[in-house]
Amino acid sequence: MGIFDFRDPSKRKKQSTPISVECTATEIFLNNTSISFPTNYTVLKNILGEASRIEPIKNTNNKVYLWDDFGIYCSTANPDKMLMLLLVEDNRYGLGHQPLKNFEGNVSIDGKPMAENIQNVDIDRPYMIRSIIKEQKQVAIAIGWNPGV
């Protein structure tokens, strides 16, 4: 990086904006863009950008798509059928492949913070949302396809 590279927009460090996840009774909005599950890599790439890494999972046909700057990953055998996103809030816990950074975005349910409203998510929503708890601490949030609907 040269001393005057700041003048060239393509050489500037990109600021990663926090990710917002808004769950309503009928939809999920990822950075104000409606998504539904199963989703696909093209939809996620249009919202989050290219995955930082795509890694194979040993002894399976699955690959893990990691967005390191956002603390998000998804594993799937088929990039056209992604069933779930994992928002990793604490990557010190063994949750499989780890994004390099933690998820620092906002997740709200029906306009309220997730912690205040997760109990109101019933089985009739077109998606599921779950806290992943380790040592009595929420370390990740899983959002994805609800097979019961």
At residue 95, the pLDDT reads 62
Residue 127 within a domain: yes
Higher pLDDT, 2 or 135: 135
DSSP category for residue 47: H
Q: Rounded to two decimals, what is the model's pTM? A: 0.85
Any idea of the CA torsion for 46, 49, 50, 53, to the nearest 10 degrees?
-130
Starting at the edge strand that comes first in sequence, how are the strands of the sheet with 63-67 ordered? Answer: 53-56, 63-67, 72-76, 84-88, 137-145, 127-134
Q: Which residues contact 139 (CB under 8 A, 6 or more apart)?
A: 88, 89, 90, 92, 93, 95, 132, 133
Residue 5 within a domain: no
Residue 30 within a domain: yes
At residue 55, the pLDDT reads 93
pLDDT digits (tens, 9 = 90+) for 63-99: 999 999 999 999 999 999 999 999 999 988 766 678 9
Domain count of the fold of the chain: 1
Residue 7 within a domain: no
Q: By residue range, what is the domain housing residue 123?
A: 18-145
Residue 6 within a domain: no
| Integer Cα distance of 134 and 143 in angstroms | 17
Residue 44 within a domain: yes
Residue 8 within a domain: no
Unique residue bearing structure tokens 């390099």: 100
Rounded to an integer, the average pLDDT of 107-115 is: 95
